[in-house]
Structure formats: structure tokens, C-alpha cells
Chains A and B, each alone.
Chain A
Amino acid sequence: MQIGFALFNALAVGMAIFLVAAGITLIFGMLRILNISHGSIFMVGAYIAFTVVGIEPGSISWLLVGGLVAGGVLAVAGLCINFGVFRRLRHVDEAYSLIATFAMLMICNGLVKLVWGVNYHSISAPDALAGAIFLGPVLVPTYSLFIIGMGIATFLALEILIHRSRIGKVVRAIAHDEWMSNLAGINTPLVYALVVMAAFFLAGMAGGMLLPNQSVSPLLFESYLLQSFMVVIIGGLGNIRGAFIASVMLGLVDGVNFLIMPELPGLLIYFLLVTFLLWRPQGLFWQPGADTAGHTEKAPDPTSIPSAMPVRLSPQIACIIALVAVLVASMPIYVNEGFLFIAGFAMVEALLALSWNFLFGYVGLATFGHAAFFGIGAYFVGFLLRDYGVSFPLLLAGATALGVLSAMIVGLVALRRTSGIALGILTLSLGEILRRIINYSKTLGSDDGLSGIPRPTLEFGLFSVDLSSERAYFWFLCVACATVALLLRALTVSRFGRMMVSTRQDPVRAEFLGINVQRVRLTAFAISGAVAALAGALHAPWAQIVTPDTVSYLHSTQPMLNTLLGGSGFFWGPVVGSVAFSTLGYATRTLAGLSEVISGLIVLVVVLGAPGGILGIGKQLGIFRAKRPQAGSPDDAREGAHP
């Protein structure tokens, strides 16, 4: 009886996931774009439907009307987004399309807060769906039945459309070979637009039908975002049958999770995903010839790879560096406390972003879980500093070592089996597992995190440096971040740096030249993890509080956004991006939602219009008189003074 109920519940959960994931699957199957913003699009749909039906929808058909209106509005929005965004993303590097759709996510979330506010709304199911009926001995909520029915109906409709109809043949032909489909006289841009509209319509419908399923709030996007990823990954990217089965599986696993460890919701799903990515990165229903997560290696754009050539420092540049260094170092004197606080965060974020681009820019690996390393460092230092008063330099060294260790463990497994999107999702999942474990750990403060972390005193035997004041720690941050950044820079222009770049440009050829590509990747991964953990370690005493948010995937995306905004093709690009983002955040801090919309718009414009980032624009305008043909011109060093 109990099991029957749980099973039914699991099925309802699975179908709810499928309703949302159907759209993201369609878009991936067709455009090869993993639309990260899909969860937010769904949320917008839910809000639109909520606006139509109100708190108490009178009947099932009213709920459906809400879904249809939301679907219609979103379909139109999808048409615009297809022309404005997706059309430009189809032929760019995967990492850029991920970041562009992430920017869309920010815009959607910001818009929701601006238009509908940040309050929670609970929508009750219409009377016809509010009760429960007996199916044999099992008591089943009618709303669950409704969701299951809708899920199956949606699946059947898509299945027939894609696998049994003429339109489906055309759609799959385009997915296989867009170029040849064009030659066959098929209006592929139109079909793309229609598929995107259909996907957005489905998201809107799901928003309407799932209204009574959960409360409507600006956090709604999160509850389905990662699940729909998993469906797409486990099912085999872009495969609607796989997506359906994967949804059911996720529902069941979630049910089991609830039975055996209710205190750690959602954890088992991530383990399932990680296992899957390592076991079958191509998904359940891989078709030969189809692009999948396991092997989508597009040729990288060589112009976006940062230079691994040492640059000489001209006297003018040295002067500029000195000037900026003085400007930053003297900040405690001329800016207010709030701004100084932001500046300190910007330095730490810049270091984190540098460590991320060390992997992305030089080795070509995009991780989506970098905040996990950051969080490891931050929690390690925060915990031991507050509760045990361990010496700070020792803690920094320990955090770095911990970063190396964890990166080695993750890298050893992950780099062997995955690349591209699969690696991204794998690292994202590992980060989320860590976050959930921290959330659960009472020792680490659960949801509230570790607060009241003291700022340390550096003991040097004969004398000691007290860092407890804001100014003192700020100066310490300046020195520490600059030192680490310069060390990292030195590494990129060393022999190892050139090896990294060669593995990114052409791993096969690098292998032929006697470079152990796996080892180079792993080493870079370890270094990157170490620097990220160190950034976290420096962050803890500055913020004086560490929360699970520091580990979340949203924080993981920050270094990416910073890097792309500044320019991934430049060593100092991430630093420029961090400064720009922090300034932006500071300038728009007063209005909830607005900062997200503006940041999202800026990232979107940069990714679509100037993939080289701010420094790339500068280079094009000839502001940097590059002495070498590649990126990383001497003038880039200008930004180096304020890491």
C-alpha cells in the first residue's frame, strides 16, 4: 500500500519533470544548444498562467486556459529569442552558447522579480483535482493523476509527431544534416523557429499545469532546472523517448531518496547522474551519428586562446601598472566601507575567475562546478579559524593542498571519461552534491553557514601583523591575490603553458608530439582547483561568513561570466570582467531584479556581439598596440595591477 502510494507519487514527480524537460530536449535535439534558461522560461510561464487564473483556479479547463495563454505568450517570445539569440549561437563554441543561455536565465529571473515581486504564492488545485480517489487499494490524489495523464499525453503527441509523421522526418533530417536539408529545399530557418516556438509553448503549458504542484516564487526555476538537465543528459541528448524514460527514472529515484534519506532531498539523483555520466556519457539512447554530450568537440577558435608567449614590459606599461597598484592599494583611504568591501570581493572573485580561465582558456575544459573548490577552501579556513584558531598561513597552505587533492580526485575520474557538456554537467553535479552535504552538516552550520569568522593575526616570531581591521586585511588581500595571479601568469608563459595551449588547439597532434595530454589536463585541473580553493580561503575571513551559497552552481557560473565579459582570450580578461561585474552589481544593488536583468543583458550582448570580451573590443579598436599577432599583448598587463 505504502509502496503503491510512493510509486504513484514518484510517477507524478517524473511526469512533472518530463513536462518541463520536453522543451529543453526539443531544443537540444534540434539546435544542439543546451538551453540553461529553460527552467526560467518555465517559471515565466508559471507566472503568466498565475496572472490569468489567480490563486484559486475554478476548474481544470481554467488551468488549461492559463497554460495555453502562457504557452502562446512564450511561443511568441521564443520566436524573438530564436531570431535574436539562438540563430547566432548555432555555430559557436558550446561554452558560449551555455553562457548566453545562462544570461537569458538571469534576465528571466530578474524580470520575474521586477514584474511579479519576490513573494511566494500558493495556488490551490481546482476542486475537481483537489481530492483523491482509490485505485484498487491505493489512495491517489487526483491532481497526481492529472499530471501523469498530461505527461503521457505530451509524450505520445511528441512521439507521434517526431517519429511517425512527415514533419518529424524533416525535423530529424535537419537535426542530422542541416546543410543537406537546405539543399533539399527545406526552409531550415523556419523549421528551427517552429521547433523553438513549440519548445517554449510546452514550457508555458507546463507552467500552467504545474501551478498547484508547488508554490510560485522567483526560486521556482531552480526546482526544475537541474532535473531537466539530467533528463536531457541521461536520456541521450535531444532524444524524446530517452527523456521520457529518464524522467520516470528520476521520479523513482527521488521517491527512493525520500524513503531512505528524507533529510537529504535530491541527493540520490545527483549520484545517479554522476554514475551515468561516467558510465554512459552518450546517454541511454545514443544513435550513431548523432552529436551527444560524450563527444562534441568542435574545433576551437584559435584566436580565442590566450597567448602562452612571455611578454616584455615596456616602461610606460610598468608606470601604468604602478599607478593602478597605488590606486587600488590606497582604496581604504578614499572609498567608503561598503565600496571597499565590494572591492575585496572583486579581488577574490577575480582570482577564482583566473583559476577557471586557466582551464577554459588554456586547456579548453569548461567546468561548471568551480565554486565547489572555492567552497572547500572557504569552509576549511572558516571552520578551523573560528573554532580552533589554527595559524592562518598554515590554513592557506592546507586549503591549497585540499584544492589540489580534491581536483586530482575529480580530475582523475572525470577527465578520463568525459569532455564538453558532459564534463560541465558532471562537475556541476559534484558541486551540488557537496552543497547538499554541507547543507545537511550541523557542524558546518547547515543553511545558515559559518558566521563570526575572525580575521587572523599573522605571527612571524619576532613580530606579528594584525589583520583584524578592514584596511589591514584588504591590503593583505591585495598582496595575496596579486602574488597568486602573477604566479599563475608565469605558469602560463612557461613551457607548461605552451603545452596546455597545444592540448587545447589539437589534442591529437599534441599527443603525437609526445605530450601526455591527460597528464597536462590533470595537472592544469589540479592547479586550477588549488587556486580556486585558495581564493575561497582568502574569502572566508574577509566576508566573515561562509554560506552554502558559496558552493552553489550559481556561484560556479560567476567565474565564467567574469571571464567571458572580460575576454577569455586574455590572461587578465577574467580580472577585467570581475571588476566590471562588481561595479555593475554595486551600481544596481538597490533594485531587486534590475541588476540581474542588466548583467544578463550585458553578458548576452558581449557573447553575441563581441565574443572577445571587453579586452577583445579594446584590441579590435587598436587600444592595445599588440606587438605579437596573438592575444595577450603587453598592454594587457595593465589590468594586472588590480587583481
Chain B
Amino acid sequence: MLEVRSLDAFYGDSHVLHGISLRVAKGARISVLGRNGAGKSTLLKSVMNAGPRARGEVLLDGSDLGTLPSFRRARLGLALVPEDRRIFPHISVMDNIRLVEAAAGPQGLVDPETILAAFPILKPLVGRYGSQLSGGQQQMVAVARGMAARPKVLLLDEPTEGLAPVIVDQMAVSLTALCDALGTGLLLSEQNIRFARRCTSAVYVIESGRLVYQGSWEDFDARPDIKQRHLSV
């Protein structure tokens, strides 16, 4: 489904990613773990062609995305939920979700009822303006907005950052339920291992722009040294 082949990424002169290759099979859910500054966000943005200068191949359903701008990638079935959420403050929650209609393709947006069923916390908020939401609510809206476009793969960047534990739990439930319901693949960048384990089936570890580990969660748990060396602070 989504495949990244020897991806290098740059910000100006600094070389951030070095030869990253990974795969997200249809409907599969994958985590990318790493410390601050390891290159997780850069990886997701590079897949989306939304910022860093990238070299290498990004393939969606087998076809190379080349130099397509991010809005075309969004229309082809990639959705990036950035870590700073970027909720539009001047329009309502519902309008925020509807804004991705352009990316949704011929099938149209996911039925709002389906989304609200997965994110019950949003039900009373649909009429509020983006500027009137708390951080946790904004994150929910951001994920809901990403999913509303029916992406083939959701690129989710550190959704739990700064959220209360109870919200993190709700997020895990909502996210997995919605991905299951819509058959959406997930590429999740996280530092919260517990959350990542609840949402995904396999894990990549990234350090200083290079992938240093890949495997299932069972393998990961069997190798405490990985966590020790690459993830502990």
C-alpha cells in the first residue's frame, strides 16, 4: 500500500533522514518510535511532500508519487495529522472536518455520524469554533478531520503529546475503532510506547534519521536493549 524506499530528507543544508525504507501494508498499523529530534515528523512530512526537501521514492499502491504537491497526495489517499494539530480557528468543528472534502475523492466524506460515533467526545462540540477548543479536543478534531477524507493511510504525528492520560486512552479506542471500520492504514509517530502498542501491530525505531529496528511488538518486548539504547531519556 504505502512504501518508502531509501528516503533522504533535508532541511536547508542539514541532512535529516538517511535512507529510510518502510512499508505499511493495506490496513496495517505501524508505529515509528524515536526520541525528540530523531526525524519522526520529518519522515511523515517527507511522505506528504510538505516541507523538507526529500530524495528517494514514496509509492502509494505501487505508483511513485514523485514530486506531487501535498494536496495531490492528500487526494490520492494520504492524510497527515500534524503534531501541532492546526485546527482552523475561524470555522466550526464540523466545518473543519468538512474542509477535507477536496481530499475525499468520489466517495465523499465519511458520514459525520460514523466519525462522531467513534469520537463521542466531539458530539457536543460540533458547532464550536476551532479557537474555542482545549488541546485534547483539538487533537480529537485533528484526527477526526484526517480520517474524514477516507485516507488509505493516516500519517499521525505524536497525537498524545501534552494530553491527559484519560484522553490518551479515549484516543486509542477511537482511533483503532475508526481505522478498523474504514480499513485505514496507519503510520503513527510516537514517544508514548504504551499508546503505540495499543494502536499498532508492528514497530520501527528511528534514531538520528536512521531506522535502527523493525519488528513486531513481541520482538520489541523481547529486546529491552532497543528501548534502553534508542528510546530512554
Contact = CB atoms under 8 A, between A and B. Distances in A.
A172 B103 CA distance: 18
Given A172-B90, A173-B91, A177-B88, A182 B69 contact: yes
B90 A184 contact: no
Given A180-B82, A182-B71, A173 B99 contact: yes
B74 interface: yes
Interface string B80-92: 1010001011110
B90 A176 contact: yes
B173 to A, nearest CB: 25
A192 to B, nearest CB: 12
A188 B89 CA distance: 19
A183 B48 contact: yes
A586 interface: no
B99 to A, nearest CB: 5
Contacts of A179: 50-51, 86
B7 interface: no
Interface in B81-131: 82, 86, 88-91, 95, 99-104, 131
Contacts of A622: none
Contacts, number: 68
Contacts of A176: 88-90
B74 A185 contact: yes
A302 to B, nearest CB: 12
Contacts of A173: 88, 90-91, 99
B145 interface: yes
B149 interface: yes
Contacts of A185: 71, 74-75, 100-104, 149
Interface in B46-97: 48, 50-51, 69-71, 74-75, 79-80, 82, 86, 88-91, 95
A338 interface: no
B79 to A, nearest CB: 7
Contacts of B50: 179, 182-183
A214 interface: no
Given A179-B50, A183-B70, A185-B75, A289 B99 contact: no
A191 to B, nearest CB: 10
Contact of A183 (B79, B91, B101, B104): B79
A263 to B, nearest CB: 46
Contacts of B51: 179
A183 B99 contact: no
Interface in A124-175: 169-170, 172-173
Interface string A270-310: 00000000000000000111000000000000000000000
Contacts of B104: 185
Contacts of B86: 177, 179-180, 183
B122 to A, nearest CB: 18
A461 to B, nearest CB: 63
B191 to A, nearest CB: 22
Contacts of B80: 183
Interface string B142-154: 0001000100000
Contact of A186 (B95, B102, B131): B102
A289 B89 contact: yes
A288 B89 CA distance: 9
A287 B131 CA distance: 12
A499 to B, nearest CB: 28
Contact of B99 (A169, A188, A288): A169
A186 B82 contact: no
Interface string A186-224: 111100000000000000000000000000000000000
Nearest to A176: B88
26 contacts: A172-B91, A173-B88, A173-B91, A176-B90, A177-B86, A179-B51, A180-B86, A180-B88, A181-B71, A182-B50, A182-B69, A182-B70, A182-B74, A183-B50, A183-B79, A184-B102, A184-B103, A184-B145, A185-B74, A185-B100, A185-B102, A185-B104, A185-B149, A186-B102, A289-B89, A289-B131
Given A169-B91, A183-B79, 14 more contacts: A170-B99, A170-B102, A176-B90, A177-B88, A179-B50, A179-B86, A180-B82, A182-B69, A182-B71, A184-B102, A184-B145, A185-B75, A185-B100, A186-B99
